[in-house]
Amino acid sequence: MSIHINKTVEVIDLGTDDYKCVWDYQETVFKKTVDQKILNRKIERPEDRITTNNYLIFCQHPHVYTLGKSGSINNLLLDDQGLKDHYAQFYRINRGGDITYHGPGQLVAYPILDLDHFFNDIHKYLRLLEEAIILTLKDFGVSAGRIEGLTGVWIDFEEGAAEPRKICAMGVKSSRWVTMHGLALNVNTDLSYFGHIVPCGIDDKAVTSMNKELGHHVNMSEVQTKLTHHLSQVFGMNIKPHEV
C-alpha cells in the first residue's frame, strides 16, 4: 500500500501525571493511528489516504509498578497493604516484558510511531531506542551499553564486568507497525522502590540511576532535551513541539 512518508514527530510533555491517565491517553492516540491505517487500506486512491502522525510523549509518574504480558506476579514483593504503605499503585499492562517501577525523578518516554514511516523492524526499533539512551548518557559522562540477550541499557555492561547495573528499562507494544509504551530512564529516581520487585524478572543484577553514578542531582529538563535530540538523530525524525 502506498503511503505518504511522514517523519515529523510531535513532542508532548505531560509533566508528572498518573500512570493510568497517561496509559489511557496513549491508548487513544495509538487506536486513532491504527484505525486510520485500517481505513487507508480501504481507500483505493493513494492521494485520498490520510497520512498518520507520530508522537513522542514525555512524563514522570507517581510511584507505580507495572507488569507486562510475559511477567510473573511473583516478581512483585508487596501485597496490597504494602503498596498502600509505599503510596504505590500496581497495574497489569499490555506491553512486553516483566515488572518494572516508575516514579518521581525517572524520565519516561512513550513513542507512538507509525514505523511504516521509518522501517518495519521491531528489533531495530528497540536497538535504536537503546542507542539514543546510550548517547544521552555519554553527554553526561556516563558510559553505558547493552548486555546481549537483555533489553535495556546498562552500566558495567562489558562481558565479565563485576557489577552490571540497569539504568534504563524498556517495554513496548506494536500493532500494524504502530508502537506504544517505551522506556524509563532513571535520572534522580529513589532506587529503594526497586527493592520491592524483581526488576524485569532479573534477580542477579542491580539497578542504578544517573544521580547515583554521577554523585549529584541531574537536571531532568536537560536530559529530556538531549534524549529528544538523539532520538531525532538515530531515527531521522523531524521534531515538532506540541501545539496547545
Measure the N-to-C terminal CA separation of the chain; round to a whole number of Å.
33
Contact indicator for 122, 172 with CB cutoff of 8 Å = yes
Average pLDDT (106-121) is 97
pLDDT band at residue 98 under the 50/70/90 scheme: confident
- CA quadruple 207, 209, 59, 78: dihedral sign: positive
10 Å Cβ neighbour count for 117?
Answer: 21
Which single residue is written with the C-alpha cell 501485597?
Answer: 79
Q: For 55, what's the count of Cα atoms within 13 Å in the CB-facing half-sphere?
A: 23
Q: Whole-prediction pTM value? A: 0.93
d(CA 109, CA 97): 16
- Res 1 pLDDT > 50: no
Give the DSSP per-residue string, 207-237: E--HHHHHTS---HHHHHHHHHHHHHHHHT-
Rounded to whole angstroms, the Cα distance separating 124 from 121 reads: 5
Lowest mean pLDDT among 26-30, 60-64, 73-77, 164-168: 73-77
How much is the pLDDT for 4?
A: 82
Q: Evaluate whether 113 touches 206 at the Cβ level (below 8 Å).
A: no
Query: Within 13 A of 153's CA, how many CA atoms are on the CB side?
Result: 27
Kindly state the cell numbers that stand for 65.
509498578
d(CA 99, CA 72): 8
Q: Any idea which residues carry the catalytic annotation?
A: 200
- Residue 179: C-alpha distances to residues 44, 71, 121, 244 (Å): 25, 20, 11, 23
What would the pLDDT profile of 78-91 be if each residue is shown by its tens digit? 999 999 999 999 99
